Chains A and B, each alone.
Chain A
């Protein structure tokens, strides 16, 4: 196993400012099964970082540790240290609910609530104690998600009445409405058609001005289009024969795609395996 910390050093030198999230020697377990091994990875502020790699390499698993959504899975356990603004996310004094209010998430399949479009957005704001003008927030969030013009006349209709691409943008609007600092996206376009995918990618470009974004994707073109930095994960069989994921290489996106340091990265991005 290579020492991945060299890659995070590379990021520190090139990235402006302090990293928002630091991942220091993180391993993730489900019961006795080790899913992810020894990851070092820093996420710079207001950048888009893509996680790529074959299925089962632990990229989604790692993503879900950043907002402690893995807490919902019985037996899931994190070793090592993940810090957000220098605070250990897994400190016993940290309430996971507070973590998720600062680190929002967009899921693989659009999952609007079976409520009106308006309520889908108002829900998150309301539970986060938003006291301002709700109409204004709903409009602003829908505009940020490039959805306002399509839905402004039917805010009272169910979120489920929208098309898949619109639903996913509604979910992004819903996340934007709680004003997180970081947005995690777990294969946000895998259930969408190519046109909707491009719209979501445009949106990611806009959102990067205000948010730090980590996106898991199976689509390498997507990673090269949207990401400033790309982390390539791979899976390997361990001593016991069960497969675990690890970080192979993390660098600026153009380096990963044009001049990767590792041969397995080269093989993956050129489509020779995975």
Chain B
């Protein structure tokens, strides 16, 4: 289009109303982004609605008691998810117990200049690669390598500390404790990467201030740097917890799928996602409905954890 096409007598309104391709694209683009943004929300609502509606028969039948009974009997159509809920929460908490000190420790190590950056950068890269390993690979490695590897150690713990209920059964080849340790390895990269970013973004003036007052490196880290980065570190832990709660494949392969609550960590157990993965294929009727009820519970669990993480991380950004 050339300038000559704009007739001098054309008013501002006329030229604004005339067809013009860039204007059309601009308008279409706007509506496209609106559509996509709304679409994401719709999908979330759709999933939630489907879960609710398919789970409804089970919710109506078992009510809140579903959360507290240990029975999974397709023949008599009796379902209760206590072992799965218990297993999900306990395996995630044990995984955190291992992953938090290790992950925060590595994050501190990587954010300090203990080693020249030529060494640190590859380590940080390897840590992030840990997050890229598919969970089925973790499961296979757990079954064929990791569990046989730590079983003798768990035997010893059982022999010495068998009087403690947590270690009271002989270590099984499929069990809660080993699963939790594999989970810990899987969530480590999340904790390390985000905690490290939080520690690195602590203003260098704070570090200098601490050193300037005669703080040792240990005092500066524990009393100034980590507290200053604490919200970011807690946020990383929450995200990691969300991942551990929802982890399916590795848990289904390693945990043994025992349908009862066993106080001993060395005994087979079950998790929500493992049970769903094992049973959805042949489930129908009330069983399927109960599986959806379980899925709903898992979704609410992870949703709460993620919202908590968002909240904590946003508070962290306000401080910045």
| Chain A interfacial positions (CB closer than 8 Å to B) | 67, 69, 72, 74, 97-98, 100-101, 104-105, 107, 109, 111-115, 123-124, 127-128, 160, 171, 174-175, 178
A-B contact count (CB 8 A): 70
In the complex, which residues of chain B have a beta carbon less than 8 angstroms from the beta carbon of A97?
214-216
**Assuming A97-B214, A124-B214, is B224 touching A107 (CB within 8 A)?**
no
In the complex, which residues of chain A have a beta carbon less than 8 angstroms from the beta carbon of B213?
100-101, 104, 123-124, 127-128, 174-175, 178
Q: Is there contact, CB below 8 Å, between A74 and B113?
A: yes
**Assuming A97-B216, A100-B214, A127-B214, is B209 touching A171 (CB within 8 A)?**
yes
B205: interface (CB < 8 Å) = yes
Q: List 23 A-B contacts (CB under 8 A).
A: A67-B212, A72-B211, A97-B214, A97-B215, A98-B214, A100-B212, A100-B215, A104-B214, A105-B212, A111-B208, A113-B206, A113-B227, A113-B228, A114-B206, A114-B227, A114-B228, A123-B210, A123-B224, A124-B215, A127-B219, A174-B213, A175-B212, A178-B213
Q: Is there contact, CB below 8 Å, between B208 and A128?
A: no
A107-B209, A112-B209 given. 5 additional CB < 8 A pairs?
A: A100-B212, A107-B205, A111-B206, A113-B227, A127-B223
B319: interface (CB < 8 Å) = yes
How far apart sit A128 and B215, CA to CA, in the bound complex (Å)? Answer: 8
How far, in Å, is A187 (CB) from chain B's closest CB? 13
How far apart sit A178 and B215, CA to CA, in the bound complex (Å)? Answer: 11
Question: Of residues B209, B212, B223, B227, which shows the largest number of chain A Cβ atoms within 10 Å of its Cβ?
Answer: B212
Interface size class of B (residues with CB under 8 A): 20 to 34
Q: Chain B's interface: helix, strand, loop or mixed, by majority?
A: helix
B101: interface (CB < 8 Å) = no
Please name the residue on chain B nearest to A120 by beta carbon.
B209
Q: Is there contact, CB below 8 Å, between A178 and B214?
A: yes
How far, in Å, is A157 (CB) from chain B's closest CB? 14
Q: Is there contact, CB below 8 Å, between A69 and B211?
A: yes
Q: Which of A69, A104, A124 contacts B208 (CB 8 A)?
A: A69
Please name the residue on chain B nearest to A111 by beta carbon.
B205
Please name the residue on chain A nearest to B219 by beta carbon.
A127
Q: Which of B116, B203, B211, B228 contacts A100 (CB 8 A)?
A: B211
Please name the residue on chain A nearest to B320 by beta carbon.
A114
Q: Is there contact, CB below 8 Å, between A111 and B214?
A: no
How far apart sit A101 and B216, CA to CA, in the bound complex (Å)? Answer: 10
In the complex, which residues of chain A have a beta carbon less than 8 angstroms from the beta carbon of B214?
97-98, 100-101, 104, 124, 127-128, 178
**Assuming A107-B205, A111-B205, A113-B206, is B223 touching A69 (CB within 8 A)?**
no
How far apart sit A72 and B208, CA to CA, in the bound complex (Å)? Answer: 9
How far, in Å, is B225 (CB) from chain A's closest CB? 10
Q: Which of A109, A124, A128, A175 contacts B205 (CB 8 A)?
A: A109
Please name the residue on chain B nearest to A158 by beta carbon.
B319
Please name the residue on chain A nearest to B116 by beta carbon.
A74
In the complex, which residues of chain A have a beta carbon less than 8 angstroms from the beta carbon of B210?
113, 123
How far apart sit A97 and B218, CA to CA, in the bound complex (Å)? Answer: 11
How far, in Å, is A136 (CB) from chain B's closest CB? 19
